[in-house]
Amino acid sequence: MSTTGIGASVRRTEDQRFITGKGHYTDDIDRPGQTYAYFLRSPHAHAKIRSIDSKAAAAAPGVVAVLTGTELAADKIGNLICGWMIHSKDGSPMKMSAHPALANGKANHVGDAVAVVIAATLAQARDAAEKIKVDYEVLPAIADPAAAQKPGAPQIHDVAPNNTIYQWHLGDPKAVETAFKSAKHVTKLDIVNNRLAPSAMEPRVAIAEYDSGTGHLTLWNTSQNPHVARLVIAAFVGMAPEHKLRVIAPDVGGGFGSKIFIYPEEVVALWASRRVGRPVKWTSDRSEAFLTDAHGRDHVTHAEMAFDGDGKILALRAKTIANLGAYMSTFSSSVPTYLYATLLSGQYGTPQIYCEVDAVYTNTVPVDAYRGAGRPEATFVVERLIEVGAREMKMDPAELRRKNFVKTFPHQTPVIMTYDSGDYDASLKKALEMSDYKGFDKRKREAAKHGKLRGIGFSNYIEACGIAPSQAVGSLGCGVGLWESAEVRVNPTGSVEVLTGTHAHGQGHETTFAQVVSERLGIAIDTISIVHGDTDKVQFGMGTYGSRSGAVGISAIVKALDKVEAKAKKVAAYMLEAAEGDIEFKDGKFSVAGTDKSAAWGEVALNAYIAHKFAGADLEPGLKEGAFYDPTNFTFPAGCHICEVEVDAETGTTEIVAWTAVDDFGIVVNPMIVEGQVHGGIAQGVGQALCEGVVYDKAGQLVTGSYMDYSMPRADIFPSLKVSTTVTRCPSNPLGIRGCGEAGAIAAPAAVMNAITNAIGTENIAMPATPAAVWAAIQANKLPKAA
């Protein structure tokens, strides 16, 4: 292993600009003649818009335009769409409502954009917005997904009776029914997977500029996938032809899923910039982010697991209501279906699974993918069931898991997925040793001496990453292919630019991707640039989410490198006057087998461009190759996280005293970066379990609308995390990478809740397990049980 190649913890090359304040985030960009957009948003969860009087606002100082849904419709700007078709069990297509970028006639959630003011300064735009008079007819609202389908519930969209978007299912209900009848033990749980605000620290930004001379539009935005944004805004919203729309996503300050989606503000900025003939800039503030960035999770589930007398899992069934909010966001339909129910087998050889999912509209912010997207919800169901099952059957939770692990591969689950490889016992064994599981009872006794309830909880998660084989997702309703592209451009001096269709917003691609290239070409890492995030530079790409950039994005780079090497060998053959088949390439040097004749990488690169040694008819000049890599399977990262807590029964306060994570990500390019991804994922999962939760009141008002009310995890709630890996090479991609970005967020909530419930001796507690919730659960458990 070289010091900068695959497996080395290379310090990140992108850090120089971030630690010196020289990053280039979207809000750092200003354009000449720029105006500012300020959105007037509905204060009501559900209201008819009878009229909008914007005369006073339009006459206010600095105002360039005041625009509403009426003008948007008149200009025939299309709706935002959800790009993944789900069919209900009766065969009917999902009920997708219209989603105009500015509300037209009705506002459907607090924060729904009703009008936009474009002014010379942001302060002027904000001041003018206060002068807009909107006559609302307030309608009854619904925020609770469990109540959305009930008779008499307020109806949000005509296209979706009973607020029901789809009633989907997966699996064989009869086989599951039969299995449950034969069970010796059935564990049942009611689970609420709490609604979360993704909260990337950089709020969203959109800057749009129209060039009236060429008809080109440029959008700078905080996107995880600028090409998908361009495609949707061109093909569905109809803003501009694709070739006349450029989307640039420069440094992006975190995404976690929330910056995958195409948002109304981007559409409005583009449209307004064309109307007013000046650049338009919109920067979300945090309050606006709570009201407009897609939220995550929000499932209500009843789940059951059937065991035989020996503790073998016979079957699992689950019924879930998934809240998709007021409109269907870009990929929202896929999250509670194919990203959720397909993982309900967990790490176990569960023979039969049946899952029903009803997706509903409510008068809340749209819900879509958030770090893990469906897989944290699935893991929570499976890992809570098996832990509670172990307690009910008085079995050791580690032993019950081990008994049920999938041990032979490939393994076909009853819910679509084919697990390629893995060794779940290896990660469990290592985690048990690292966490000193054997010593837990002693630690529990010692904790009791100082008045604390100590608990331990496992989470043996699996996830489907490397998203995704295009044909497979196409057959499941996805509107796009999920391959990735790469282009390797070798310069005449031998330095290299790699263009990738993935996008980095904290993952360190500029370093890890360069490590792969450095090792392959035998050149220094500082002679390699990774280029991403600009549709004028990178031809096409699907972006970054679903832990796909390593497994899919790097695979595309490897494929392009194969082609570069093949062509460079041809050039070297001419230079060295040898047969192409005799050229060997190693450590940045081309040599003729069995001779001392060689040419350095830089010499070959130069010769490819000067083309003095070969005729163009035989070999084209230049050294630049592109590749599209379409995966043949999902990848399956898996692992074991063990959380240990101490609960103060008097105050309900939970302290996480130890955390052990052993993950199998396949081959790891940069262990330092991968550990960082695990730390961050765990923190988000712990946040979900201990403190985070979006709260709406009955009228659909957002109660948790700022960081004063929405409890973000701070540094002081975490212990030092013990993180390690086991390695089972992924068989389906060239480097054997599984992916690591979401694992922590998927594993953590179940580990925390299994530990807390172990400590307090009752399963009746929902996330977030705040001190008040824990205290209440302890008190309720003390009450005499009804006979």
Partner 1 sequence: MAAVSMTVNGKPVTADVDPRTLLVQYLRENLRLTGTHVGCDTSQCGACVVHVNGKAIKSCTVLALQLEGANVLTIEGLAPADGPLHPMQEAFRENHGLQCGYCTPGMIMTAVDMVRRKGNDLDDHTIREELEGNICRCTGYHNIVKAIAAGGKAMRGSDAASKAAE
Q: Which positions lie near partner 1, rule CB under 8 A?
A: 11-12, 14-23, 25, 27-28, 30, 123, 199-203, 251-254, 256, 285-287, 505-508, 672-673, 675-676, 679-684, 706-708, 712, 714-716, 718, 720-721, 744
Bridge-based pairing state of the strands 598-600 and 589-592: antiparallel
Q: Is 193 helix (H, G, I), strand (E, B) or coil?
A: strand
Sign of CA dihedral 228, 229, 230, 235: positive
Bridge-based pairing state of the strands 721-726 and 653-664: parallel
- To which residue do tokens 């503000």 refer? 265
How far is the C-alpha of 770 from the C-alpha of 773, rounded, in Å? 5
The two three-digit tokens of residue 190, written as one number: 């009611």
The two three-digit tokens of residue 503, written as one number: 């996008």
Residues contacting residue 55 through CB under 8 Å, at least 6 positions apart = none
How far is the C-alpha of 248 from the C-alpha of 254, rounded, in Å? 16
Query: b/e per residue, 628-664, with b = 16+ CB within 10 A?
Result: bbbbebbbbbbbbbbbbbbbbbeebebebbbbbbbbb
Cβ atoms of 313 and 203 closer than 8 Å: no
Which CB sits closer to partner 1, 296 or 469? 296
Cis peptide preceding 145, ω within 30 of 0: no
Cβ atoms of 735 and 554 closer than 8 Å: yes
Residues contacting residue 641 through CB under 8 Å, at least 6 positions apart = 431, 458, 459, 461, 659, 660, 661, 662, 682, 744, 747, 748, 751
Q: Is 602 helix (H, G, I), strand (E, B) or coil?
A: helix
The residue among 78, 308, 296 whose CA lies nearest residue 181 is: 308
Q: What is the DSSP letter of 670?
A: -
Q: Least distance to partner 1 from the beta carbon of 123, Å? A: 6
How many other CB atoms sit within 10 Å of the CB of residue 251? Answer: 19
Angle at which helix 743-760 crosses helix 771-782, to 10 degrees, equals 40
Cβ atoms of 111 and 273 closer than 8 Å: no
Cβ atoms of 206 and 265 closer than 8 Å: yes
625 strand-pairing partners = 488
Whole-angstrom distance between the N-terminal and C-terminal Cα of the chain?
Answer: 66
Cβ atoms of 674 and 637 closer than 8 Å: no
Q: Is 387 helix (H, G, I), strand (E, B) or coil?
A: helix
